C-alpha cells in the first residue's frame, strides 16, 4: 500500500524545513511568494492531503459529533439523523451514531465511553428506561457540549431542541372536538417520558375548554410495545361507554390500536377514529389511516441540534455565550382525512 505523502517528504524534495512547508501551505505571508508557489505545486503533484489527526491535535478538536438515540429503525429518529448528517457533513464533521435500544444501562455505558473519547459534542434523546440522569450531567461537567432532543428529561441544564408536544396534543384534541367527537381517549406513553406529560397537559386543556368529559378511564399509559398497546386498547373498548375517538402517542401506537379495533369488528374512521403523532409517510398508502397526525419536524430538529454544536465548537471562548439554547419548534396538525372517511364529516 502506497504511503501517504507528508510535509516532511515535501520539505526533503524542496530542501527546505518542514515548518516552512507548513507555513507555505497556510499561505503565510512570512514565506516568500516563490517558495509558496513551489510548495503548492509539488503538493498538488504528489497529491498531498493534510492529516486530519494532526489538525485535530493542533485545534484540540476531534471533528466528531456523537448522536445517541433509542432506535434508528423508527422513522422519526431516522429523519433526525438525516438532518444531523447533512449539516454536519457540510461542515466537515463526522457523526458517530449509537442506539440505546431504550435501555438505561446501555445509554449509561455509551455516554461513559463518549466521555473518555472526548468527542466535540453529543446529541441525545434519552432511553425510555432512563429515570436517573447523572450520566448526562457527568458529560456536561466535563465540558462536553450536550444537546438534548425530542425526549428531554427535566432539570438538566443544557441545550435543548424539540417540538411543542403540549401544543400538538391541544390542537389535535380541539380538532377532534370540532369534528363532533364527544368521548376522546388518550393512549399516552410512559410516565418517564416528558413528552408523555406534555401530551397529557395539552389533551386535558383542550377537553376542559370544549367542556368534554375528563375521565381517568379514557386515559391509558402504554410502554410503546404492541402487546401493551393492544391490552390498553382492549380496555378502552370494554368500558361502559367506549370512546368514539382516540389520540395516540404516535402513529405506531395508533396502528397497533387500530388493529385491535378491527379484530373487534369496528370500522376505522366510522365506528371509532384516530389522531396521532409523527406523521409517518407509510400512512399515506393506507386505506384507513389516522384522520390526522401531528408533524414533529424531525429533520429540522436534527439540523437545529447540529447548529447549536457548531455555534459552540467553531467560536472562540470570548465569543461563546454561557447560556443554554432552548429551541421548541411549532407542531403542525396534518389532516389526512378524505371526504367519506368518517361518519362525522357532517358535524
Residue 346 lies in a domain: no
Of 188, 161, 148, the residue nearest 172 (C-alpha): 188
C-alpha cell at 249: 402517542
147 and 238 both lie in a single domain:
no
Per-residue pLDDT tens, the chain, 347 aa: give them: 455 778 888 989 999 998 898 888 888 888 899 999 999 999 889 888 776 555 554 555 778 999 999 999 999 999 999 999 999 999 999 999 999 999 999 999 999 999 888 799 999 999 999 989 999 999 999 999 999 999 998 889 999 999 999 999 999 999 999 999 999 999 999 988 889 999 999 999 999 999 998 999 999 999 999 999 999 999 999 988 999 999 999 999 999 999 999 999 999 999 999 999 999 888 777 878 899 999 999 999 999 999 999 999 887 655 556 689 999 999 999 998 653 444 444 33
C-alpha cell at 234: 382492549
- Domain count along the chain: 3
pLDDT, position 154: 84
pLDDT of 319 reads 56
d(CA 228, CA 125): 22
| Residue 55 within a domain | no
- Give the domain range for residue 44: 7-50
Domain match, 130 and 219 both: no
pTM value? 0.79
Distance (Å, whole) CA 343 – CA 271:
8
Question: Within this chain, do residues 126 and 69 fall inside the same structural domain, yes or no?
Answer: yes
Between CA 265 and CA 136 the distance in angstroms is: 47
Please indicate, yes or no, if residue 336 is contained in any of the structural domains: no
Asked if residue 340 is part of any domain, the answer here is: no
Task: Identify the DSSP state of 269.
Answer: T
Q: Residue 152 and residue 133: Cα distance in Å, rounded?
A: 11
For residue 313, give the CATH number of its domain.
Answer: 3.40.50.2300
Residue closest to 247 by CA, chosen among 171, 316, 299, 302:
171
Residues 288 and 170 in one domain: yes
> What does the alpha-carbon distance between residue 315 and residue 193 come to, in Å, rounded to a whole number?
33
Fill in the DSSP letter of residue 325: P
Amino acid at each position: 500500500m502506497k504511503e501517504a505523502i507528508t510535509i516532511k517528504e515535501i520539505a526533503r524534495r524542496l530542501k527546505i524545513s518542514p515548518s516552512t512547508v507548513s507555513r507555505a501551505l497556510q499561505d503565510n505571508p512570512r514565506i516568500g511568494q516563490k517558495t509558496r508557489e513551489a510548495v503548492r505545486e509539488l503538493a498538488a503533484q504528489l497529491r498531498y492531503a493534510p492529516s486530519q489527526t494532526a489538525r485535530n491535535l493542533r485545534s484540540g478538536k476531534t471533528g466528531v459529533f456523537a448522536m445517541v438515540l433509542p432506535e434508528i429503525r423508527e422513522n422519526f429518529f431516522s429523519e433526525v439523523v438525516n438532518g444531523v448528517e447533512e449539516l454536519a457533513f457540510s461542515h466537515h464533521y463526522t457523526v458517530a451514531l449509537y442506539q440505546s435500544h431504550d435501555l438505561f444501562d446501555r445509554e449509561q455505558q455509551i455516554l461513559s465511553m463518549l466521555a473518555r473519547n472526548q468527542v466535540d459534542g453529543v446529541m441525545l434523546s434519552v432511553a425510555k428506561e432512563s429515570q436517573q440522569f447523572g450520566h448526562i450531567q457527568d458529560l456536561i461537567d466535563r465540558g462536553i457540549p450536550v444537546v438534548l432532543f425530542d425526549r428531554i428529561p427535566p432539570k438538566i441544564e443544557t441545550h435543548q431542541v424539540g417540538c411543542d408536544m403540549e401544543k400538538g396534543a391541544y390542537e389535535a384534541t380541539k380538532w377532534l372536538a370540532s369534528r363532533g367527537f364527544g368521548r376522546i381517549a388518550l393512549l399516552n406513553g410512559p410516565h418517564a417520558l416528558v413528552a408523555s406529560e406534555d401530551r397529557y397537559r395539552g389533551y386535558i386543556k383542550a377537553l376542559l375548554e370544549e367542556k368534554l368529559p375528563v375521565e381517568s378511564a379514557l386515559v391509558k399509559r402504554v410502554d410503546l410495545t404492541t402487546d401493551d398497546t393492544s391490552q390498553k386498547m382492549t380496555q378502552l373498548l370494554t368500558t361502559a361507554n367506549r370512546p368514539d375517538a382516540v389520540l395516540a402517542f404516535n402513529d405506531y401506537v395508533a396502528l397497533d390500536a387500530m388493529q385491535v379495533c378491527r379484530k373487534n369488528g369496528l370500522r376505522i374512521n366510522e365506528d371509532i377514529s384516530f389522531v396521532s403523532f409523527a406523521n409517518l409517510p407509510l400512512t399515506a398508502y393506507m386505506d384507513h389511516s389516522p384522520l390526522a397526525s401531528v408533524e414533529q419536524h424531525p429533520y429540522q430538529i436534527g439540523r437545529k441540534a447540529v447548529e447549536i454544536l457548531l455555534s459552540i465548537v467553531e467560536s472562540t471562548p470570548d465569543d461563546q455565550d454561557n447560556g443554554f439554547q432552548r429551541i421548541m419548534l411549532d407542531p403542525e396538525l396534518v389532516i389526512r382525512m378524505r371526504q367519506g372517511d368518517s361518519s362525522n364529516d357532517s358535524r
